[in-house]
Chain A
Amino acid sequence: MSSNPQVRGVIVAHGAMARGLVDAVRHIAGDAADGLSPLSNDGKGPAQLKEELEAAAGAGPAVIFVDLQRGSCGMAALSSCRDQARRVVLSGVNLPMLLDFVFHDELPLDDLVERLIEKGRTAIAQPLGKS
């Protein structure tokens, strides 16, 4: 995370994916990964998952990264944003998006979210073009 983090990051994903993504961020960016909290839906019902997500996100600005919008992780994330203008859900989480987050979590939430969407989208590419 940056030296003056303003936004928390929570990854909510199926199975071991969230833990794996944080581990990958740590391998590349070191302690900056401390700005991310992983959360798995494994073995959890909707109420428990939402409760754990609320605790991880806290009361301040937060970005909730989810793997799949059309899943229990996405549902819990969206549900937790009710009446929470300072909490944003981003689906389709990928590693470039997370790496950008941990180095720019001092930005205002709206600016950060716009940036992360762009980073996440441009990371999906065919580097060598069509064969």
Chain B
Amino acid sequence: MPIVLFRVDERLIHGQVVIGWGHHLRPDRYVVVDDELASSDWEQDLYRLGAGDSIADFCTVDTARERLAEWRAESKRTIVLTGDIRTMRRLAADRLLDGERVNLGGIHHGPGRAEVLSYLHLTDEDRHDLRAMTAEGVSVSARDLPDAHKVQLANLLRG
């Protein structure tokens, strides 16, 4: 079983992911794709505390793009996380995630962000990136927890 979830969540490895989704999907490994975190041992150690018994790996977008096929082929059940939409779009570029589903799980309010759902706030750039991902074959929807209502991208981008 390869990659069981692609998720955008600015909190990365945290309760909803490890307990909510983790209980549902039973991952062996979390892969955090983040150019800054990939070079911060101290922050990686913090996130590993949150991952519990599962493996937590950290890599840049470039490395993730190189290793994606390997993760898909392995038996380890893997959740791939990015902290923002732009990073997921970079990962998906050139149809690398064609046919995959991306889950939007948590982007909170901040400068330039408008509320779309209680747990999802988007900038104009985010909307542009989401459209670009779908044009490259990615199915995008929002859902904070496995048993929550799934909202398709078309509904997120209305209005």
Closest to A68 in B: B15
- Residues 39-89 of A at the B interface (beta carbon under 8 Å): 43-48, 68-72, 74-75, 78-79, 82
Of B15, B47, B51, B108, the residue contacting A44 (CB under 8 A) is B108
- Contact code string B92-134 (vs A, CB < 8 Å = 1, else 0): 0000000000000011111000000011000000000000000
Q: Most chain-A Cβ atoms within 10 A of its Cβ — which of B11, B13, B43, B119?
A: B11
Contact of B18 with A43 in the complex, beta carbons under 8 Å: no
Closest to A69 in B: B49
With the chains together, A71 CA to B10 CA distance in Å?
A: 12
Count of B residues near A, CB < 8 Å? 22
Given contacts A70-B52, A72-B15, contact A46 B10 (CB under 8 A): yes
For the complex, is A14 an interface residue (Cβ under 8 Å from B)? yes
- Contact code string B29-65 (vs A, CB < 8 Å = 1, else 0): 0000000000000110011011110000000000000
Contact of A45 with B10 in the complex, beta carbons under 8 Å: yes
Minimum CB–CB distance for A55 against chain B, Å = 17
Contact of A72 with B11 in the complex, beta carbons under 8 Å: yes
Minimum CB–CB distance for A46 against chain B, Å = 6
- Contact code string B71-92 (vs A, CB < 8 Å = 1, else 0): 0000000000000000000000
Cβ of B49: which chain A residues have Cβ within 8 Å of it? Answer: 69-70, 74, 78
Contact of B46 with A75 in the complex, beta carbons under 8 Å: yes
For the complex, is B1 an interface residue (Cβ under 8 Å from A)? no
Closest to A79 in B: B46
Of A14, A45, A79, the residue contacting B110 (CB under 8 A) is A45
Closest to B51 in A: A70
Contact of A46 with B19 in the complex, beta carbons under 8 Å: no
With the chains together, A45 CA to B12 CA distance in Å?
A: 10
With the chains together, A74 CA to B11 CA distance in Å?
A: 11
Q: Can you list 11 A-B pairs with a CB-CB distance of less than 8 A?
A: A45-B11, A46-B10, A69-B49, A69-B50, A70-B49, A70-B51, A72-B11, A72-B15, A75-B47, A78-B46, A79-B43
Residues of B within 8 A of A (CB): 10-11, 13-15, 18-19, 42-43, 46-47, 49-52, 106-110, 118-119
Residues of A within 8 A of B (CB): 14, 43-48, 68-72, 74-75, 78-79, 82
